[in-house]
Structure 1
Amino acid sequence: MEKIILCTLILLGSLCAQTYTDMLGRHVEVKSASKLVFLGPGALRLGVYLGLEERLVGIEKTENDASPLSPYRTFLGKEWIAKLPLVGPGGPGKMPDLEALIVLKPDLIITSFVDQNQIDLIASKTTIPILAVSYGASYGGSSQKNLEEIKASLLLLGEVTQTKARAQKLTAFMQNEEKGLSALKLSPKTLYVGGIGYKGVQGMTSTEANYPPFELLGLKNSVFANTDAKGHQFIELEALLKADPEIIFVDLFGKAKVEEEYAEKKPLFESLQAYQKGNVKEVIGYNYYSTNIENLFVIAWQVAHALGAPVDINSKAKEIFTTFYGEKADALLTKLPYHLNQP
């Protein structure tokens, strides 16, 4: 009789489980998504976008840094994050604390930027289902591909966690933003972006060959105008001097570093026409533990505004942040060091 009951329970459990194909092409059987853990750069961000933070049973240590350059962490709040048990250090290539995962017993682990061998190892040691999401080809891919992968990841995660309507709303909004930005008619200017965060704070020569906000507007980074370079690049200052772009954008993440460099090499910086004509513009943070999607769109509108588009950046930022964070968007924007409507 006991064997019959046990077999019945196992059968019922298997009937409740559903199999999903994750962003690495793995087939993952999920019985429940009530208790979650997110591992790797950007994984938790997507969970917060979908309103899944109340399901968290553990968090990576790196998420304790509630940086103002990372909106989703500011949204969660340092005190709230600190209450969650740690499941490992976090960061690319870092293994989680397997013992902590086994003790916490999440129903599902969601990963981003974690390779398949590592996923297989974690799954075999913990027996917890793992679903991989994706930000695309990372720094080496095109903006369009990355956004398509992000939208697909949101829809997948929405289906698995029963937040499908929310995921559909977000992806539809992203699609509309892409269409609106690509349709803008902007004055032709040569552009450059520096101070891009890459494994920490970087200076003026840290850039993106195919900077996603530029690509959303159909624009190019002038230093790479005649090359097939992709993703993050460190350039020589001489390459920037040679390109001499009409407008330079500085990522907020690297602003202080760029200002230090300017003080040290003032004559070289002031030989650039962008500095001579006051066309050095600040844009908000792009990368911080992977891409801030909401910021990506705000930055694109900042660039468009600098090129003459009649857009109120504060109003646009409020619209974007409200879509991603709901009624708390105003309070969140107030906490972030974003000086949006600059001349």
Structure 2
Amino acid sequence: MTEKKYLIPVFILLFLAFLTSVSVSQPLREITDSNHRVVTIPIKIDRIICSGPGCLRLITYFGAQDRVVAVDDIETRTNKFDARPYSLANPQFKSFPVFGGFRGNDDPEKIIGLKQSPQIIFKTFATMGYDPVELEKKTQIPVIILEYGDLHKGRKHFFSSLKIIGQVLNKESRASKLINFFNRHIQDLENRTRDIADRKTCFVGGIAFKGPHGFQSTEPSYPPFQFVNANNIASTNDMTGKNIRNSNFSKEKIL
């Protein structure tokens, strides 16, 4: 008699649990990331984390800071000088939970233990830090790899990543506006400077690369110099066709 008494309530609880699991499950879609991986993600994305250099900067371009639920440890550090505009514009990042180390050194256990579980993980520089495929397996959270690129020879990759972010966050129109913004201003600088005959030489020092560096640290193909057709002394003939992102220029050559 007792068994029959509790049989119906248990059945009802199991049935309600089934209905709840069905109702909370989100419809899914597929996205192809920068590594040509097809990743299955929810249709609506409200919670994200950004791993790797510059990843959080890209998300800030989209005005999607409110979807970030945790940051890597470099965002919470207190530095005397902070030269990252996106960080200065978002001081709230310093009080966010930490999911791992900077430069892509993610901690799967910390990610799983976050109070607000991310629906996806964006990751730049896939070969740096924690392997993105392994990270996806360990956390069971989709990982979207982004090719960071730049605004010169890597512009195609950069724009492709913006389009991918737009698709993931359902902000395709914002991605188009960003791409048009960059193209419009780059073309404007080209139009203003292409006919200048007497070009003075120039040099840019103190270029950061995976962290801050001294005055001799430069970028031979520094995009702003390329936009204005500048005569960059760090750009030599033997670098033609190459996209060297960072080099240490000698003081003797500068003098």
**TM norm. shorter chain > 0.5:** yes
Alignment partners' CA distance in 2, 1:144 and 1:11 = 47
Q: Which residue in 2 is equivalent to 1:160?
A: 168
Query: Which one of the candidate residues 178, 193, 197 is aligned to 1:170?
Result: 178
SS of the aligned residue for 2:144 comes to strand
Return the offset for 1:180. Answer: 0.7
Aligned AA for 1:106?
Answer: P
**Which 4+ residue blocks in structure 1 deviate beyond 6 angstroms?**
7-12
- Over 3 Å counting, the alpha-carbon distance change for 1:99 and 1:62 in structure 2 is same
Alignment of 1:234-273 (within 5 A): 234-241=248-255
Return the offset for 1:6. Answer: 5.6
Query: Which one of the candidate residues 198, 201, 204 is aligned to 1:193?
Result: 204
Aligned AA for 1:237?
Answer: K
Q: Which residue in 1 is equivalent to 2:35?
A: 24
CA contact (8 A) 2:34 2:146 kept: yes
- TM-score w.r.t. the length of structure 2 is 0.80
CA contact (8 A) 2:75 2:94 kept: no
- Over 3 Å counting, the alpha-carbon distance change for 1:72 and 1:9 in structure 2 is same
Q: What 5-or-longer segments of structure 1 have no aligned partner?
A: 242-343
Return the offset for 1:129. Answer: 0.3
Q: Which residue in 2 is equivalent to 1:90?
A: 102
Q: Which residue in 1 is equivalent to 2:68?
A: 56
CA contact (8 A) 1:208 1:231 kept: yes
| Number of corresponding residues | 230
Q: Does 1:130 align with 2:155?
A: no
Alignment partners' CA distance in 2, 1:115 and 1:10 = 37
CA contact (8 A) 1:191 1:221 kept: yes
Higher share of residues assigned helix: 1
Q: Deviations over 1:174-200 (max 9, x none)?
A: 110111111123441222222222344
Q: Deviations over 1:126-171 (max 9, x none)?
A: 11001111222x7xxxx42323322221121111111222222111
Q: What 5-or-longer segments of structure 2 have no aligned partner?
A: 1-10
- Over 3 Å counting, the alpha-carbon distance change for 1:75 and 1:125 in structure 2 is same
CA contact (8 A) 1:43 1:112 kept: yes
Higher share of residues assigned strand: 2
Aligned AA for 1:158?
Answer: G
Identical pairs, percent:
28
- TM-score w.r.t. the length of structure 1 is 0.60
- Over 3 Å counting, the alpha-carbon distance change for 1:82 and 1:211 in structure 2 is closer
SS of the aligned residue for 1:153 comes to helix
Alignment partners' CA distance in 1, 2:24 and 2:77 = 42
